[in-house]
Structure 1
Amino acid sequence: MWIDFSSKERFISSFSLEKEEKKGNDWKKSIFSFWKNWHDNKPTILSITSGTTGFSKVISLRKKHMYERAIKTVEFLKLKKKGIKGLLCLSPDFIAAKMFLVRAIIFKWKIYCVPPSSNPLKNIKEYYFDITSMVPIQVFFSLEYLKNIKIILIGGCSISSFLENKLQNISTICYSTYGMTETSGHIAIKKINGPNKSIFYESFQDVILSVDNRNCLRISYMDSYFQTNDIVHMISKNTFIWIGRYDNVINSGGIKMSPELIEKEIGSFIPYEKRFFITSIPDKILGEKVILIIEGTPFPLHIPNSIFNGKIKFYKPKSIFFISHFTDNLLDKFRRKEIIKKIIKT
């Protein structure tokens, strides 16, 4: 479904209302509902958080903040010219899609909208797009079609080393984005392939960064302040390397470690289609024991001891568990705490 945001009349005429009630078209209704809410006289709009560390919740966002964040992203990507064509393939209920729509409204883009799925480009190979936003699993299943897209913004969760290596061989410009519902989208971005790729995120000019005593990121812009639980390594006043979530830190025998770092080390030894994560369970001697949990039926897995040499010898998982299916939220993010409870009970 193409939607033309160049004018109100074109938006209405390009929007197919006659099949609104058909089952499975909720995503269409969500787009139209967001457009109406954006143009009402209220200063705020509602959005659902992703539920990274718990259940999703509805929060109120200020439109002026969303407007400014949209401007900053488009200016950074140099997409202010006329005739931009975008692909919307994320759920309109969440901030990434809402901000994509805000950019389209402000800059009068024409966008092609498809229902959220893991392989959004499968049936639209004939179109070329200037920009899209995807989560990593969508990027993976779209690798053979990405040549039809100029720029991809990747967010929602961390990008594996395996996928990042795959992206080095394509012409599409790929960015990893940093932001959340509370910040109304992106506050920092990094280029992960091609010339001038980077290992660190760079914040937009209107954003002020700092860290607390846990090395967790603080974000300030306009009249807002946010304290995150994201552990970072500050490179400069506006650049940082993301380490992991403070919520997930493991203390095993007095050694503190970030599961995300271990996941990056072992990711290449686990089939990409298998979802997995590092966590811990109670241990009488260590306090917490590092374990690896993999989704699906059991299979032989060999992780070389050589990758756990030196200081990271304690990082090696003490046990491996297989779970038939992870508990998900609406953004395909699995709920670690609920899965861990199942492991402990068994």
Structure 2
Amino acid sequence: MSRVSHILAPLPVNPHDPAAILPDLEAAIAGQTSVLPLPQGDITRSTVLRNTQRAGEPIDDAIALVVATSGSTGTPKGAQLSPLNVVASADATHQALGGPGQWLLAMPGHHIAGIQVLIRSLVAGVDPLCLDLSAGFDVSAFARAAHVLGRTGDRAYTALTPLQLAKAMDTLEGIEALALFDAVLIGGAPLNPQLRVSAEKLGITLRATYGASETAGGCVYDGMALPGTRVRVVDGRIRLGGPTIAHGYRNLPGHAAFSEPGWFITSDGGFIENGHLNVTGRLDNVIDSGGLKLHPEVLEKELLMVPGVAEACVVGVPHPRLGQAIVAAYTGAASLMDILVALEDAEVPRWQVPKDLKRVEELPLTGPGKIDRRAVRELFSAASS
């Protein structure tokens, strides 16, 4: 990719009216421009993205979008997506869900999950319905919009984070609204197994997604690759291939994640069993406690199975003897004793049982539905200092 004829244009996304960027997105996937979606109103984040992704500077005209990662482990990386990347993703999603339909945007329009809701709408030729997210996710507004979609007679879809799903399922109007959709995509973080079981009993169709900005959004649904997507696991690390894979990073050319042409080498560990991808968690989050290694997501899954635990985050903190001690923060009504008894009943190895458990009102986030592990570590560091 050596052509340079576009200038990367900043594209602020108004949380009051995210659909206003649809003409710009349409021009981008038509190859007429290259855009960088930005969070309007978040001056700090917007400035960081403009600077790190070199907004206003030349870019290869084969790039439609530069979509920033959450930056949870450092400087945001900018995935360079072509028109083929994003359209192939939209087509594969509709094929997996049973056909195009009308989408409800309930996530920020500058993140890949929100951007893809808008692009799927463009590809389907059906205007999306968009929530005003300026004050956060409002269940009543979501329910009203869902009923509007339900009256159109078209297939109806939406995409939510696990936190949004949990909030909606806390109310009767939210449950009724969720049941109106032909499918609700859940991504950005692992889905609470208890929520999934409850949703199934209530007639809510959930599809747990796995993907990233680098793959133009979710490319594996419920452990199965979407049409066109290829999945390999090499030395315990997940690799994803296919037409949705980004053309490297805007601000990190030659990055090792794209060292194999046509593939994205993720930072996630996992394994394939009976054709089903099981994601164990980010490799850079692995906790080494006394020489024993733990993917925190494995223990988090056990914690989320405990009645009364709504969210959980497991991290390692410095320990003079073990190197790292396993600790966990959680939200919900469960008591410490409830959790310890449940972990014992589940036969969780004793060394994996958290050395410290902390119940909090809410877990810190870094992006939609993504828990900020560094901030969680600081909760325990502050307590010990």
Output the TM-score relative to the length of structure 1: 0.79
Aligned to 2:336: 301
Match of 1:203 among 225, 230, 247: 225
Whether the 8 Å CA contact 2:146–2:178 is kept in 1: the answer is no
CA displacement 1:137-156 (0-9 Å, x = unmatched): 22222232212212111111
Counterpart check, 1:277 vs 2:309: no
SS of structure 1 residue aligned to 2:278 = strand
Distance in 2, matches of 1:341 and 1:24, equals 30
2: CA distance, partners of 1:141 / 1:326: 14
Corresponding residue number in structure 2 for 1:230: 268
- Matching residue's letter, 1:340: R
If the length of structure 2 is used for normalisation, what is the TM-score? Answer: 0.72
Counterparts of 2:326 and 2:208, CA distance in 1: 28
CA contact (8 A) 1:136 1:159 kept: yes
Per the alignment, residue 38 of structure 1 pairs with: 29
RMSD: 2.8
The offset of 1:92, in angstroms, is 0.8
How many pairs align?
A: 308
Residue in structure 1 matched with residue 50 of structure 2 by the alignment? none
CA distance in 2, matches of 1:62, 1:79: 23
Q: What residue number does 2:97 align with?
A: 77
The match for 1:64 among 84, 87, 93 is 84
> What 5-or-longer segments of structure 1 have no aligned partner?
1-20, 191-200
Once the two structures are superposed, the pairs formed by residues 92-171 of structure 1 within 5 Å of their partners are: 92-116=109-133, 117-118=136-137, 119=139, 121-124=142-145, 126-127=147-148, 128=150, 130-143=156-169, 144=175, 145-171=177-203
The one-letter amino acid paired with 1:266 is L
Q: 1:77 to 1:289 in 2, by over 3 A?
A: same
Q: For residues 236-285 of structure 1, give each alpha carbon's deviation from its aligned partner in whole angstroms, at most 9, with x where no partner exists.
A: 4x531111111111111121111111111122446455x43111111122
Matched with 1:221 is 242
**Contact residue 61 and residue 184 of structure 1 kept, 8 A:** yes
Take 2:91 and 2:334, find their aligned partners in 1: how far apart are those partners? 48
Larger RCO of the pair (alpha carbons < 8 Å, separation 6+): 2
Q: Which amino acid aligns with 1:136?
A: P
After superposition, the Cα gap between the structure-2 partners of 1:112 and 1:256, relative to the gap in structure 1 and judged at 3 Å, is same
Report the CA distance between 1:326 and its aligned residue: 4.2
Shift of 1:183: 0.6
SS at 1:228 equivalent: strand
Q: Which has the higher mean CA deviation after the structures are superposed, 258-267 or 57-66?
A: 57-66
CA drift at 1:25: 2.6
* 1:32-74 C-alpha deviation (Å, 9 max, x unpaired): 5434433452432121213344454433211111111111111
1:288 aligns with 2:279: no
Report percent identity of matched pairs. Answer: 20
Unpaired runs of at least 5, structure 2: 1-11, 34-61, 170-174, 244-260
Stretches of 4+ moved more than 6 A in 1?
none
CA contact (8 A) 1:53 1:335 kept: no
Q: For residue 286 of structure 1, report the CA deviation from its aligned partner.
A: 1.4
SS of the equivalent of 1:126 reads: helix
| Distance apart, 1:105 and its partner CA | 0.9
